[in-house]
Amino acid sequence: MKFEALVEVRLRPGISDPQGATIERALPALGFDGVSDVRVGKAIRFAVEAPDEATAREMSVAVTDRLLANPVIEEAQVSVL
C-alpha cells in the first residue's frame, strides 16, 4: 500500500534563523503589524510503499533521522497521512 508522509523540519528554539528574521523585518514596511516569531522550516512530502501504516511511519521516521533533519540544530515531526 502507498502512504503519504509529511515531515516538518524546524530549527530548534534558540538556533538563529536569518531567513525568518529577514521576513520579519520586511513585514512592517508592507503594512503588516502584529506578526512576530517568524521561523522558516522545511516541509517534506513523500510517498512510502509499506504493508501497513505502522511500518510506513517507522520507515518515514528512519528516513527523517538519517537524511532529512540534523538533530543538532533541527527537530522533526513526522505525520503519515
Binding site for its own copies (CB under 8 A): 8-10, 20, 23-24, 26-27, 30, 32-50, 59, 62-63, 66-68
Cell readout for 17 is 534563523
Contact 68, 36 (CB under 8 A): no
* Cβ nearer to its own copies, comparing 22 with 72: 22
Question: What region does 37 belong to: left with phi over 0, alpha with psi -120 to 50, or beta?
Answer: left
Our CB check for its own copies shows the closer of 13 and 72 to be 13
Which H helix or E strand runs over 76? Answer: strand 74-80
Q: Which is nearer to its own copies, 26 or 71 (CB)?
A: 26
